[in-house]
Amino acid sequence: MAARWGVTPSTGIAPNRMALADPGRRLASWLALLGLVIPAWEAQVSIANAKFTAGRFLITALVVPALVVWARSGRRLMAADVATLLMAIWMFVAAAATGGSLASPAAEALQFLFAYIVGRALFSGPASLDAFVRALTALTFFMIVIAIGEHVIGRWIAHDAAAALFGTTPLTPTFRGNFIRATSTLDHPILFGVFCALVNAILLLWAKNAGRRILFSAICLLGCVLSQSSAALMAYVLGVAAYAYDCLMRTAPARWTLFWIVLGTVVGLVFLITKHPIGWLISHLTLDPVSGYYRILVWDAALDRIGSSPLTGYSFKLFNEVILDATVDCVWLVEALHYGLPAIAFLFLANIAAVWPGRRRAPGAESDFDRHMNLAFAIVLLLFIFTGITVHFWNFMWIFWGMCVGIKASLRERAIYGGCCDADANGVPDEAFAATG
């Protein structure tokens, strides 16, 4: 079977050939992502006094097989592994220190950690990662079809259907102007829109020709537009810009060093020149000035509270404040309020450790597919970090973030060390599938 990407001759694998992943790994791809299309709010069940959404249940079911694969594959310990584990541990420590219930902190900590392990262990090689992206593409397009239906009918179709099936109360649709804001199967229009933007960054670097890239990108843009989310549109533009920059500067070996220097200079100038740098960023990341002003109030109120308990936060306790008890549209503020500054520091370090380039110890062993996916998931993680300033991620988007960090950490490991860091169910390295076309 013809492949999407070739691999370098130094690997000894036939160029431009890649077989499909084994059936077990393809099934794992669908199971890991199936929670995308099952509404979490209406379709959750209680097991042993713990609430399970479909995404949480499936990730939990996959974590043991993932650990077995990881243990058998002879993988190296990466900095992202340590940072992610420390984040989960700190969430438990902080929640216990505040004296509150451990149910919600345990769910949040474990679903991110489990998702990281699943991504790290099961989708680290070319064939298995290709299967993951194929499943992600199909499910994303299905979600966008639902979003189109919502726009036509004026109702949240998937949430209404799940509520009728499980006998629960559906989420209430939100509108902007006279049009419904599409949310598809996710919990909020912003989450749906940002998700489409993240998938776009992956598909731009996964699709094998320009025609497919344009088509896939246009479909993802439609999802962003239907969500009517400024964060989604901003993430989409940034993803396309990063891809275009890489294409235009491909012959410049120091292109990403230059990129970080320019970005760091711009951010530094914002913090030096503006009186309220966070407020400036927020005001330029939102379409609605009223929404931007409200987010600035949230930041001011949240930072005041975080300053009073910087190490452990407040777990899930209410503050008896109108602003903070209503909604906090920033994942960094929410996690700091729940678990203190160490939790968000570990989360940030896990992402940066996965993205950070490393000196290759096996020159020439990285395939073209790996290089493209390395860039794709680096863009995804940076977009998670950036959009998190005005967006809070929960339920499957939180799980998806964990999976993406794990996948990127494995890609970084392969880029540095090369060779076979992944095997199928029969112990055959993933790279071996590339030669069987």
For residue 20, what pLDDT is reported? 62
Q: How many CA atoms lie within 13 A of 324 on its CB side?
A: 21
Rounded CA-CA distance 338/408 in Å is: 26
Residue-wise burial string across 170-204, b where 16 or more C-beta atoms lie within 10 A, e elsewhere: bbebeeeeeebbbbbbbbbbbbbbbbbbbbbbbbb
DSSP three-state, residue 50: strand
Q: Are 58 and 36 in contact (CB under 8 A)?
A: no
DSSP three-state, residue 306: helix
Range of the domain at 186: 9-38+49-151+178-287+351-433
Taking the chain (437 residues) in runs of 10, the rounded mean pLDDT of each run is 39 41 87 95 75 91 95 90 98 91 90 97 92 97 98 95 90 90 96 98 95 97 96 94 91 81 81 73 63 78 93 90 84 96 98 86 69 95 93 95 97 80 44 34
For residue 17, what pLDDT is reported? 38
Residue 158 lies in a domain: no
Residue 312 lies in a domain: no
Residue 237 lies in a domain: yes
**325-330 long-range CB contacts below 8 Å, 24 or more apart?**
327/298, 327/392, 328/298, 328/302, 328/392, 329/190, 329/295, 329/298, 329/390, 329/391, 329/392, 330/295, 330/298, 330/299, 330/302, 330/388, 330/389, 330/390, 330/391, 330/392
Both tokens assigned to 388: 């998190």
Q: Which residues contact 11 (CB under 8 A, 6 or more apart)?
A: 365, 367, 431, 434
For residue 258, what pLDDT is reported? 84
Rounded CA-CA distance 109/354 in Å is: 19
Rounded CA-CA distance 11/89 in Å is: 39
Number of domains in the chain: 1
Q: Which residues contact 301 (CB under 8 A, 6 or more apart)?
A: 321, 323, 324
For residue 292, what pLDDT is reported? 66
Both tokens assigned to 103: 């149910």
Q: Are 119 and 406 in contact (CB under 8 A)?
A: yes
Residue 169 lies in a domain: no
Neighbouring-strand partners of residue 46: 51
Q: How many CA atoms lie within 13 A of 292 on its CB side?
A: 15
For residue 152, what pLDDT is reported? 95
Residue 332 lies in a domain: no
Rounded CA-CA distance 62/77 in Å is: 21
Nearest to residue 374, comparing CAs of 281, 246, 268?
A: 246
Both tokens assigned to 235: 């993430």
Q: What share of the chain is helix, strand, coil (3-state, %, to 5)?
A: 65, 5, 30
Residue 318 lies in a domain: no
Residue 1 lies in a domain: no
Q: Which run of H or of E encompasses 6?
A: none
Residue 316 lies in a domain: no
For residue 291, what pLDDT is reported? 67
For residue 424, what pLDDT is reported? 43
Quickly list H helices, 277-392. 277-283, 289-308, 322-326, 331-339, 341-355, 368-387
- Does the predicted TM-score (pTM) go above 0.85? yes
Amino acid type, 106 = A
